[in-house]
Amino acid sequence: MGLLTGCVLQNVANPANGHTLLAAQAHAAHALLVGAGMHSHNPAVQFRLMLEQLGIFLPALGSSRFEASTAIPLNCWRLPAYWLSLSLFPEQYPGEILGAAFCEALYGTPLMVLEAQQQAAPNLPALEEKKRRLQDALPHLRDATQTLLKQDADGRVRKCFATGFITSASLLREWEKRCLEDWHLGRQQPQRAMVELVRNKARFARGYHNKLKLAGRVFDDLIVQDAQCFVQELGQSRWVSPGQPEKSLLVTRLLAFGGPMFRIFTEQEETVIRDWIRQLPHSSDAAALATDAVDTDPGNVPLVIVESTVSAPITCVRELYHQLLNLEQYPQIRNSATAFCNSWLARSAQGIHKDDNALPFSVYSHQALRAWFEARAATQVQSYAEHGGDNEKSREDVIDEALQLCPMILIDGAWLRRWSNAGLVETPFGALLYKILSDEIGNGDCALNHPNIYRSLMEDMGIHLPNFRSREFVHFSRFNQTAFEVPAFWLSVSLFPQKYMPETLGLNLAMELSGVGGAYRSARDELRRHGFSTLFVDLHNTIDNVSSGHSAMALEAIELWIDPYLRSNDQQQLSKAWLRIWTGYRALSVPTRSWREWLHPVRYPY
């Protein structure tokens, strides 16, 4: 929970609804809870720093090593798992999400945690800072809730809000109860820790004990199928002397030098085993104690995972755009999005060393990237100075060009859709991308939302479009098919921020740099010539600036991400990372398709 502050709100504002009042208010709350794009202000960063200063080092959030950590009892996963699950369905469960967020903000950091911090690290302000941020978010959460309740004709929203709040509060109380039990038993209940240890080790043990039996069952089957029963029976076997690890054959013979399990367990794991043996009672009520300690653990409730049916990839780019904007209605669209991304990026990578947009340098360095960046920005400014007023387009052409950009601009920032999520937003480069995304959707203010500004321009031009999430929009007769290609790619790649991280960084740089100093100024002249508002292009020409704006942030994000490759001195991996970044940069333009692809489709190797 300490690493997931505000996670239940992380998807409330997205490309489909970022322009609405409810999404803006919820986003304002979420921004406060994750540091508003400032890495050092993120409560998760501060919490992890506090842990490390206490000598507790956790793997990266979302990694398999984090999930497999036996140091974290099962009951600690339930509440954050509930919040993360809710966050995936902002349209289906808006009431529950706001109720859960209210619960987090009102309860804040549990008192027992604050007391523990005061004892262990009284000079570290991490938890107090989190408490302050939760309090600051409350007014925005109240505003969002009031907005949602205005749509509550039948009282259903109130019930949903109560469900989210009460469920979160109940899970939090259950967590506190379990933590207090563990605390009183000495940090972590030994029985529970032993069961978790067996669960994590079981798959590696299978095949080594097929001649042994425990409680009349084959050892290898029991350890994999029922870890709780296995631990219970092991505690009553000849290998264990309850209460006396120094006299237990499990420790003195099996784990000792020369034994069949020597160094099978780490030092920490052997400590878990000894602590478990030490707490075993000498009486026959050991089984009852085991049931008490583990059976009632809410973390042991099994989850039923329903596998979705794989759907055939969608080939119509208009339909892909529509379904990706209505993601909760079409969950299997991820399959088509993956195929579309791979094809787009594979074609973008072709000619990367030789065409007009070729890789600018082969050996990556920060200096080389910055030199290219500044030269490119200067070229765009010079191009406007030389040719800015040469192209006098007719009023009809200006309107049509603006119209064809609608599918793209109405989802401005969509390529960063998931960078609001825990595991990404608290990274140094992720914080920068979150700041860019927040700016694109208006920083919690509908009037500053870029798509809303563009909607005003369309109205100014006399163009009245259907709702951009409707099928009527994608089949609007005045749209060209090509108007949906780049935005469909944005929406597709946004679903996979981990898989396509370097490509997203390159795409982000291309997008933020593309019009600064040149195209935006030309567009301003064209709009002004025909009496249209220039607010949209003026805003982007300033907010994307190359000194401190989005372009500069995009450049810095790449540097931060690629730094570990530079430090590793592994030129092969560095070159691969740089190629992937530049492929993403090239992916802003629609990649060409050759006739050979109909016979031999190109594949993206990453």
- Model-level pTM greater than 0.95? no
CA distance 300 to 228: 10
Judged against a pLDDT cut of 80, whether residue 309 lies above it is answered with no
Q: Is 510 helix (H, G, I), strand (E, B) or coil?
A: helix
* Confidence at 527, pLDDT banded by 50, 70, 90: very high
Asked if the model's pLDDT at residue 149 lies above 60, the reply is: yes
Q: How far apart are CA 248 and CA 278, in angstroms?
A: 10
Instruction: Return the pLDDT at 150.
Output: 93
Whether residue 463 contacts residue 399, with contact meaning beta carbons closer than 8 Å, is answered with yes
Quick one: average pLDDT of 41-52? 88
Q: Residues 551-590: pLDDT tens digits?
A: 999 999 999 999 999 999 899 999 999 999 999 999 999 9
For residues 188 and 532, give the distance between their C-alpha atoms in angstroms, rounded to a whole number: 67
Q: Is the pLDDT of residue 18 over 50?
A: yes
Residue 7's nearest CA partner among 25, 24, 22, 29 is: 29
Average the pLDDT over 256-277 and give the result.
88
CA dist 380 and 372 (Å) reads: 12
CB 18 within 8 A of CB 97: no
Give the chain's largest Cα–Cα span: 94
Asked whether 432 and 37 are in contact (CB, 8 A), the reply is yes
Rounded to whole angstroms, the Cα distance separating 536 from 410 reads 12
- Rounded Cα distance between 440 and 419, Å, is 13
| Least confident segment among 134-143, 255-264, 298-307 | 298-307
294 pLDDT more than 50: no
In this predicted model, what pLDDT tens digit does every residue of 96-141 receive, in sequence order?
A: 999 999 999 998 877 777 777 777 777 766 677 788 888 999 999 9
Give the model confidence (pLDDT) of 413-424 as tens digits. 999 999 999 999
Average model confidence (pLDDT) across the chain: 88
pLDDT at position 109, please? 76
Give how far Cα 144 sits from Cα of 9, 420, 444, 448, 452, Å.
11, 18, 11, 17, 19
Instruction: Assess whether pLDDT exceeds 50 at residue 489.
Output: yes
Q: What is the average per-residue pLDDT within 480-491?
A: 96
Say yes or no to pLDDT of 295 above 60: no
pLDDT of residue 342: 94
Q: Which residues contact 568 (CB under 8 A, 6 or more apart)?
A: 574
